[in-house]
Amino acid sequence: MSLTLAFGEFGGAYIPEMLYSNVEEIRTRYLDIIAEPAFQEEFNNLLRDYVGRPSPLYLAKTLSERYGANIYLKREDLNHTGAHKINNTIGQILLAKRLGKKRIIAETGAGQHGVATATVCALMNLECIVYMGAVDIVRQAPNVARMQMLGAKVVPAESGSKTLKDATNEAIRDWINNAETTHYIIGSAIGPHPYPDMVTRFQAVVSEEIQLQLQEKTGKDHPDYVVACVGGGSNAAGAFYHFLHDERVKLVLAEAAGKGIDTGHSAATSILGTKGIIHGCMTLLMQTADGQIIEPYSLSAGLDYPGIGPMHAHLIKSGRATVHAATDDEAMMAVIDLSRSEGIIPALETAHALAILDRIGLKKDDHVVVNLSGRGDKDLNTYLKYIEENNIKL
Ligand SMILES: *Cc1c(COP(=O)(O)O)cnc(C)c1O
């Protein structure tokens, strides 16, 4: 099933002229390439045998009892490399091969997308260059080691705040200079059109499986709620895709309030953001009155992004999706809670989705699917440090 995605007043491709031919090549070819039976077969086989799909849909008993509803966890944390990001990088590397590209570039903040990209480049034997802020390289050393282990070259971005947006600028510069040979794998449902649409299609396998698995378990073909955390928006977009036009399904996003929405240390983009252009698309972003990006903050590196994918901006503005923000503290409590109640240590990003479950007005016997976007192994140092600094008795 292929749906048309709506972006309303958001989206578009606001790019320098020198990128036009690259983006246009992808735009004119991606839908045909994805629809090819040989592409579908290769994509689906890799998702099954390499990623380990379908990921289970797990009825979380303790959570369900607490909320008096049926809370299901979609276990993207069990995927190879530990999160949903691999679904997209597999799709894009297969596309890159069909476009005849020999070289892959990517940007990464926390390093998760860098690892997922380095993984598929090793799998396909393609050259891989990952741009990463110099500050992030120090903060995320274990993921830098993983990328190097997989054969990727990690290039530090030394400009500006030396974080994700600077790495993105470096990646775009590289792409302009190597347009013929290179594909740029963007890691979320952001960037110039068609990236948000394309990434959503590669992640759509998540909601396709949810639909089948829920039917099999309960006889119901749709949940009452789908809940997902949102950074750029790829895991949420994938979990929503097959339910976008089904008004029986309430779509709920959880963004990062950081230290609190009004503290000046937040990444609650849809709440604090205004309309503007970031990384080639029109969307909601945190910006000053003269359009300079405001540095976002979240303890969770994967949600620490100043914009939100354009499809989500539209879903929120049109009232189709609702959004709640969880603070660092609320997310950390949700991490500890899930670890203790279900024996699952979630990624800190994911915990934001769990943290807002008590605010969405669940009714008895509702069927709720929470997209468990990733596992918490990468965050263990953050968790232990937080527990120690806050004197939490476990
Ligand atoms: C990167 C990441 C996110 C945020 O990215 P989206 O594109 O918004 O999904 C969420 N959860 C995990 C585990 C991640 O690694």
CATH number for the domain harbouring residue 358: 3.40.50.1100
Closest residue to atom 14 of ligand 1, CA basis: 302
Identify the pLDDT of residue 4. Answer: 84
Q: Are residues 155 and 224 in the same domain?
A: no
36 a catalytic residue = no
> Averaged over 327-346, what is the pLDDT?
98
Residue 364 burial (10 A CB sphere; 0-12, 13-18, 19+)? exposed
Cα–Cα distance measured from residue 188 to residue 216, given in angstroms and rounded to the nearest whole number: 30
Pairing mode of beta strands 367-371, 321-327: unpaired
| Average pLDDT across the chain, whole number | 96
Question: Is 9 part of a structural domain of the chain?
Answer: no
Q: Are residues 295 and 159 in the same domain?
A: no
- CA 115 / ligand 1 centre spacing (Å): 13
Question: Is 152 part of a structural domain of the chain?
Answer: yes
Identify the pLDDT of residue 163. Answer: 85
Give phi and psi for 204, each to the nearest 5: -65, -15
> Averaged over 301-318, what is the pLDDT?
95
pLDDT digits 0-9 by tens, 78-104: 999 999 999 999 999 999 999 999 999
Contact 182, 174 (CB under 8 A): yes
Q: Is the pLDDT at 394 greater than 90, yes or no?
A: no
Identify the pLDDT of residue 66. Answer: 95
Per-residue confidence at 161, pLDDT binned at 50, 70, 90? confident
What range does the domain containing 323 cover? Answer: 52-82+203-389
Question: Is 341 part of a structural domain of the chain?
Answer: yes
Residue ending a domain, among 172, 199, 226, is 199
Cross-strand bridge partners of residue 250:
225
102 a catalytic residue = no
Q: Are residues 233 and 90 in the same domain?
A: no
- CA 256 / ligand 1 centre spacing (Å): 12
Question: Is 10 part of a structural domain of the chain?
Answer: no
- CA 300 / ligand 1 centre spacing (Å): 10
Per-residue confidence at 172, pLDDT binned at 50, 70, 90? very high
The tally of domains found in the chain comes to 2
Residue ending a domain, among 167, 199, 231, is 199
373 a catalytic residue = yes
- CA 80 / ligand 1 centre spacing (Å): 15
Identify the pLDDT of residue 160. Answer: 86
Ligand 1 site residues (CB inside 6 A) read 83, 85, 112, 188, 229-235, 302-303, 347, 349-350, 373-374
Single pTM value for the model: 0.97
Cα–Cα distance measured from residue 90 to residue 120, given in angstroms and rounded to the nearest whole number: 6
> Averaged over 348-366, what is the pLDDT?
97
Smallest CA-to-CA distance from 312 within 371, 203, 373, 230 is with 230
Smallest CA-to-CA distance from 256 within 273, 239, 269 is with 269
Among the options 85, 101, 162, 250, which is catalytic? 85
Q: What is the DSSP string of 231-257?
A: SSSHHHHHHHGGGTT-TTSEEEEEEEE
Per-residue confidence at 307, pLDDT binned at 50, 70, 90? very high
pLDDT digits 0-9 by tens, 205-243: 999 999 999 999 999 999 999 999 999 999 999 999 999
Identify the pLDDT of residue 1. Answer: 55
Q: Is the pLDDT at 293 greater than 60, yes or no?
A: yes
Among the options 107, 209, 255, 349, which is catalytic? 107
Question: Is 294 part of a structural domain of the chain?
Answer: yes
In this structure, what DSSP letter does residue 75 have?
A: -
> Averaged over 370-385, what is the pLDDT?
96
Identify the pLDDT of residue 139. Answer: 82
Atom of ligand 1 nearest to the CA of 230: 8
H helix intervals, the chain? 20-35, 37-46, 61-67, 85-98, 112-124, 134-139, 141-149, 164-177, 195-203, 205-218, 234-240, 269-272, 310-317, 328-342, 348-355, 380-389
Q: Are residues 252 and 141 in the same domain?
A: no
Cα–Cα distance measured from residue 314 to residue 296, given in angstroms and rounded to the nearest whole number: 21
Smallest CA-to-CA distance from 254 within 342, 348, 337, 387 is with 348
Q: Are residues 323 and 250 in the same domain?
A: yes
Q: Is the pLDDT at 36 greater than 90, yes or no?
A: yes
